[in-house]
Copies of this chain bind each other. A is one copy, B any other.
Amino acid sequence: MEHQEKHLKSSDFITDVVIGMSDGLTVPFALAAGLSGAVSSNMIIITAGISEIIAGSIAMGLGGYLAGKTELDHYQSELKREHEEVERIPEQEKKEVKEIFAAYGLSEASQQIIAQELCSDKDKWVHFMMKFELGLEKPDPNRARNSALTIGISYMIGGLIPLSGYFFSASPRQGLMISAVITVVCLMVFGYLKSRVTGQPPVAGALKVTVIGVLAAASAFLIARLIA
């Protein structure tokens, strides 16, 4: 049990890194590509890129933090409600236990046995209702903060990769070429890792992530050229 939880946490961390980085690679890459088709100064692209990275990491990080807090609040308010219901309307709650098993074709007699035994321990009863009636599991209280920081920082690092092409080049076109090469390689690596972490076929996953990034960049480049 102890071991399993540790395993889960480390994989949450990797998932957050990969989420932040693959989004960070995609959007700033496409933004820089779009501007490369429309402006003639690397400085504008770098300024826009850094603005986007700051905005994106705050939106993703802080957004993720608040979403995690909301999930925890929601869990706790539902837990309180279930505890109250078990005290106030135990017969109704017992009926709900029986209904869960009726849906799987268990006989009335078996439903009665389960409900009787489960309801003898109120704490276990409440946790059963939380999980099987409401589909809620206790969120880790530190998860929201850790996840926000990890996703935000990964987004920043991911976003600086495509932008780095413009630091060391003379023109937006040259910057775009360097940026595209570096970013496509990184998208492939992160798509591969992302799929490994989520247990999907890694080569197909690497291709998917790369195609999204390239499609976003190509569309932004073409449309920016049309309007500029």
Contact = CB atoms under 8 A, between A and B. Distances in A.
Interface of A: 23, 26-27, 29-31, 33-35, 38-39, 43-44, 46-48, 50-52, 54-56, 58-59, 62-63, 66, 70, 73-74, 101, 104-107, 110, 113-114, 117-118, 120-121, 124, 127-128, 132, 135, 137, 198-200, 208, 212-213, 215-217, 219-220, 223-224, 227-228
A34 B132 CA distance: 47
Contacts of A26: 55, 59, 63
Nearest to A62: B212
A50 B224 contact: yes
When A and B form their complex, which 4 residue pairs have the shortest distance between CB atoms, in order from nearest? A34-B51, A30-B55, A58-B216, A51-B220
Nearest to A63: B212
Nearest to A28: B55
Contacts of A198: 70
A15 to B, nearest CB: 12
Given A31-B55, A70-B198, A74-B199, 7 more contacts: A34-B48, A34-B51, A44-B44, A105-B118, A110-B114, A114-B114, A132-B132
Contact of A48 (B35, B70, B127, B199): B35
A106 B101 CA distance: 14
A127 B105 CA distance: 12
